[in-house]
Amino acid sequence: MITVKNGVFTITTANTSYVMHVREGKYIENMHYGRRITPYIDPDANGLIDPSAVIADEQTERALEEKYTNPYGNSVAAAGNNWCVTLDDMCLEMSNPGTGDYRSLPLVIEGPDGCMSTRFYYKDSLLYEGLYSEKERTGMPYAHGASNGTDRPWTLELIFEDVYEGERGKGLELRVIYTAFEDCDVITKRMVLINDTDVTYTIRDISSMMLDMQGRDYSVVTFDGLWTRERHIHTKKLESGIYETGSTNGTSSNFHNPFMMVIKDKATEDHGGCYGFNLIYSGNHRERIEVSEYGKTRILCGLNPFGLAYPLAPGDRFYTPEAMLTYSHKGMNGVSHNCHRFITDHVIPPYFRGRKRPVLINNWEATYFDFNRRKLINLAKVAAGLGVELFVLDDGWFGDRSNDTKALGDWFVNEEKLGGSLDSLVKAIKNEGLDFGIWIEPEMISEKSQLYEAHPDWAVKVAGKEIYTGRNQMILDYTRADVRDYIVDVICKLLGSADISYIKWDMNRPVTDAYSAGETVPGAFYHDYVLGLYDVMKRVTSAYPHVLFEGCSAGGNRFDLGILAYMPQIWTSDDTDPNERMYIQGGTSYGYPPSTMGAHVSASPNHQTLRETSLETRFNVAAMGVLGYELDLTRLSLIDRKIISKQISFYKENRDLLQNGMFSRVYESDNNTIWQVTDERKEHAIALLYKRTAEPNQSYDILYAADLDEDALYRVRVRNIKVKVKTFGNLINQISPVYIKEDGIVQALIGKAYAMDGETEEYTVSGATLMYAGIRLAGRFIGTGLNEGTRVMGDYSSRLYSIDKIVH
Ligand code: GLA
């Protein structure tokens, strides 16, 4: 709900309030954003407070507004009166260069005379049901109403006008736009700049949102990394001065994800006030937090000003990406729950909301570029027998693409390699019982390609300057309409040529020389590239709304809300080592739900880290996302096939829970991590217990749970796993009637056909017991004692526990 009353603007969601008012007729002061507050009520009404009432009464307003009584030393006074206030010490919704607010500013534009001072003062407001992006074509993805159509969000526009008394007269307008997504405690904000003057302005810096908060006792939590180690969590105490993060490589990047949290100092996973911020955007972004000496904290999120000099001609509008804000008093898990719900209900394409995602086999790590029709069909045959549902043909099926030095852009099928047309291959795979999906990298062009020969000016480069490639390739200039039309046509033709139900859309290198041979000027390149990308994605996905697109960018280099608005899942990382995935998926989970994270079981030793892990652990970790397999299934031993087949059955039985359940990070110690997904009715949950390294002589682990009904009874059962004979090395001879040489033929033969059953363990306890005391699980193998009850838990080991309510 949003209300505008007596100059007070109140945005109310289920558990939060965002309150602003007009001050001195021209400024908008932020009075509160955080846990929901209730208004003052007339004492005649028995002092009762109506929680649904809005904060528009004078008493509450008087209590919340900042008090200024003394002029401050050498500070600058707000213009036009003898007021004691300096804008440098006010929580504002909009602030201008040249007005004495020396903190980081949300908007810096340059006039034709080079002047950068502005006077955007509040003029008016507009309140309506619906979304700004429904009335204006912004060219960018946006948060939509709930897919069932019942929940129409409300939008508030605060209109600021640049008060300019010179020759140019008025005509510059700034709108700060708020939409309330009440169900998930999210408010979105964005700024729109409108140039109705007759001169061109240059945008130097423009944020989507600015939030000023009282106090300075906060920490910032960011998710940073690199290729194969994306989104690791980092927490930093905010101190006086500026903290800044973001990306400048043309993508939202694996360096610093646009999702961040600002948490009160004592907040934990489950308690305390936490704010979450994100951007519905896939390009350069910047998050800036300034802790002022007046004891206030300013947060800015939006485009990165790096390389930005965006011309805004007369009659033009500049739309910033939509920023997401959320608050929870229930700690970081509370923020995650809000973000997860917001993404599934308001960001991903509504068609895919809650829709089951197929278990897939991807041939990349199974074959790399070295495949032919026979190999692919054999892989599909085995995969189908194990329960896999979708076959994904990765890189190497087109043009002369036998390695990664060439052919990107030549999107015609290499029929020689595929042993026939794509359609015939798809039919053969479908004949094995699998759906078919295919990889493309449509934003790229190889120097060695027919496309580059025909259109060298379609590549992003500065003519005459040495070219810097990444993975031997260049970027296609999506700022150009002719390039975009060409690519849309190519992808639509590909999709029309065979029965394809899934596309993996890759993007393997970042931008370097931001320069177009077309019309886009360099200062507009980064943003226009992203707008071009959205244009292509929108045209393709709306032509094929039921095709499942999975975003990818060298793994998780572009894991953001902009991509998710077109593609409901993203390849989380090229790193499939489960131990690394615990960091990567764990970090990602703070801002994004399991249904967005592609997670595959791959070979051991792992191809990225050479770490050896058990097949069961690889599955247990991948099961906390959208499951796939990415290894040569045709070479599996008999026992591994049995194991995988059981894994897939378990996943399918629990797919809805694993993909769409509420995800919580339940417990974390040096060695053990517990995550849990729970259904809405709290009737079923699955917990993952992961152990990084084995601890000697510490015999049992404790399983804690979360999000259950305290008073209900739950049955807790471990998912039965297989333990390989090899795990025991030569210790096996302590129980074997015949001597088994380690790494010898007998061990190999036994290992291929046989594995021991892991422990069976079952408990029936109340939700409260599970959540507040935890189950002390059966003893672990610690060098002595081994029987059916022993939990064999070495390094990188794990278990999944099903937790089911006993309904009488
Ligand atoms: C990227 C992707 C991989 C794979 C390769 C193919 O690295 O992240 O999953 O598709 O490209 O070249």
Residue pLDDT, tens place only, 473-529: 999 999 999 999 999 999 999 999 999 999 999 999 999 999 999 999 999 999 999
CA 394 vs CA 363, 440, 441, 542, 567: distances in Å: 6, 8, 10, 23, 17
* 67 or 550, higher pLDDT: 550
Q: Ligand 1: which of 439, 558, 570, 597 to mutate, most ligand atoms within 8 Å of CB?
A: 439
Residue ranges of E strands in 133-271:
154-162, 172-181, 186-195, 201-214, 218-226, 229-237, 241-246, 256-264
3-state secondary structure of 450: helix
At 51 the pLDDT is 53
Q: Can you read off the two tokens belonging to residue 4?
A: 């505008």
Atom of ligand 1 nearest to the CA of 394: 10
Confidence of residue 106 (pLDDT cuts 50, 70, 90): very high
Q: How far is CA 139 from CA 14, 191, 283, 351, 536, in A?
A: 30, 14, 14, 21, 11
- Taking the CA atoms of residue 344, residue 348, residue 353 and residue 359 in that order, the dihedral angle to the nearest 10 degrees is -100
Looking at residue 43, what is its pLDDT?
52
Q: Summarize the confidence of residues 597-619 as an average pLDDT.
A: 98
pLDDT, average across residues 557-562: 98
**Residue, of 564 and 55, whose pLDDT is higher:** 564
Please name the residues in contact with 133: beta carbons below 8 A apart, sequence gap of 6 or more.
140, 142, 322
Among 89, 506, 575, 577, the active-site one is 506
Phi and psi angles of residue 225, each rounded to the nearest 5 degrees, phi first: 170, -150
CA distance 137 to 144: 14
Token pair belonging to 56: 């528009």
Q: What is the average pLDDT value for the chain, to the nearest integer? A: 94
CA 47 to chain centre: 45
Of 394, 404, 573, 606, best ligand 1 pocket probe by most atoms within 8 Å of the beta carbon: 394
Beta bridge partners of 207: 302
Is it the case that residue 72 has pLDDT exceeding 80? no
What band does 735 get if pLDDT is binned at 50, 70 and 90? confident
Rounded Cα gap, residues 455 and 678, in angstroms? 52
Distance CA 590, CA 522 (A): 35
Residue pointed to by tokens 């008016």: 124
Question: What is the distance in A from the centroid of ligand 1 to the CA of 554?
Answer: 6
CA 431 to centroid of ligand 1, rounded, Å: 27
Q: Which atom of ligand 1 is nearest to the CA of 630?
A: 9
Count of CB atoms situated within 10 Å of the CB of 519: 10
Q: Which of the four pLDDT bands, split at 50, 70 and 90, describes residue 771?
A: very high
pTM for the whole structure: 0.96
Q: Which residues contact 505 (CB under 8 A, 6 or more apart)?
A: 440, 441, 442, 537, 549, 550, 551, 552, 567
What does the alpha-carbon distance between residue 80 and residue 78 come to, in Å, rounded to a whole number? 7
Question: Residue 55: which pLDDT band, with cuts at 50, 70 and 90?
Answer: low
User: Which pLDDT band holds residue 79 (cuts at 50, 70, 90)?
Assistant: confident
Q: Please state the rounded mean pLDDT for residues 796-804.
A: 98
**Mean per-residue pLDDT, 628-654:** 98
pLDDT band at 352 (very low <50, low <70, confident <90, very high): very high
Tokens of 171: 């005509």
Strand 172-181, strand 154-162: pairing:
antiparallel
Confidence tier at 685 by pLDDT (50, 70, 90): very high
Cα 506 to ligand 1 centroid, rounded to whole Å: 7
Question: Which of 5-9, 282-286, 454-458 shows the lowest mean pLDDT across its residues?
Answer: 5-9
Question: CB of 242 within 8 A of CB of 150?
Answer: no
pLDDT for res 437: 98
Give the number of the atom of ligand 1 that is nearest the alpha carbon of residue 574.
8
Distance in Å, CA 590 to ligand 1 centroid: 25
Residue 149: band (very low, low, confident or very high) from pLDDT cuts 50, 70, 90: low
Q: Are 590 and 235 in contact (CB under 8 A)?
A: no
Could you identify the atom of ligand 1 that is nearest to the CA of residue 504? 10
Residue 213 in this model has a pLDDT that exceeds 80:
yes
Residue 191 has pLDDT above 80, yes or no: yes
3-state helix, strand, coil in the chain (%, to 5): 25, 30, 45
pLDDT value for 78? 84
Q: Which of the pair, 47 or 507, is modelled with greater confidence?
A: 507
Among 441, 506, 553, 571, say which to mutate for ligand 1: greatest number of ligand atoms within 8 Å of CB. Answer: 506
Collapsing DSSP states into helix, strand and coil, what is residue 168? Answer: coil
pLDDT at 56: 66
CA of 555 to the centre of ligand 1 (A): 7
Q: How far is the CA of 549 from the centre of ligand 1 (A)?
A: 15
Catalytic member of 212, 574, 701, 707: 574
pLDDT score for 118: 95
pLDDT, position 725 = 85
The position carrying tokens 């595959």 is: 600
- So what's the pLDDT on residue 128? 95
Tell me, what's the pLDDT at 52? 57
Q: How far is the CA of 558 from the centre of ligand 1 (A)?
A: 13
* Angle between helices 638-653 and 615-622 in degrees, nearest 10: 20
Distance of CA 713 to the CA centre of its chain: 35
Mean pLDDT of 711-730: 93
The pLDDT of residue 147 is: 56
Q: Give the largest Cα separation in the chain, rounded.
A: 100
pLDDT, position 569 = 98
- Rounded-to-integer distance, Cα 230 and Cα 269, Å: 21
147 phi/psi in degrees, rounded to 5: -65, -20
Q: Contact at 8 Å (CB) between 116 and 99? A: no
Give the span between the Cα atoms of 270 and 267, in whole angstroms: 8
Average pLDDT of the segment spanning 358-377: 98
Nearest residue (by CA) to ligand 1, atom 1, is 554
Q: What is the pLDDT of residue 44?
A: 54
pLDDT at 683 > cutoff 90 = yes
- Ligand 1 is surrounded, with C-beta below 6 A, by 364, 394-395, 404, 439, 506, 508, 552, 554-555, 571, 574
If you average pLDDT over residues 92-119, what whole number do you get? 96
Residues 423, 497: Cα–Cα separation, whole Å: 6
Residue whose CA lies nearest to ligand 1 atom number 7: 554
* DSSP annotation string for 73-104: TTPPPPTTS-----GGGS-BS---TTSS--S-
What sign does the dihedral 440-446-451-455 (CA atoms) show? positive
What's the burial of 84, exposed, middle or buried (CB within 10 Å: 0-12/13-18/19+)? middle
Q: 4-31: per-residue pLDDT in tens? A: 988 899 999 999 999 999 998 999 999 9
| Beta-bridge mates of residue 190 | 177
Q: How high is the pLDDT of residue 126?
A: 96
574 is catalytic: yes
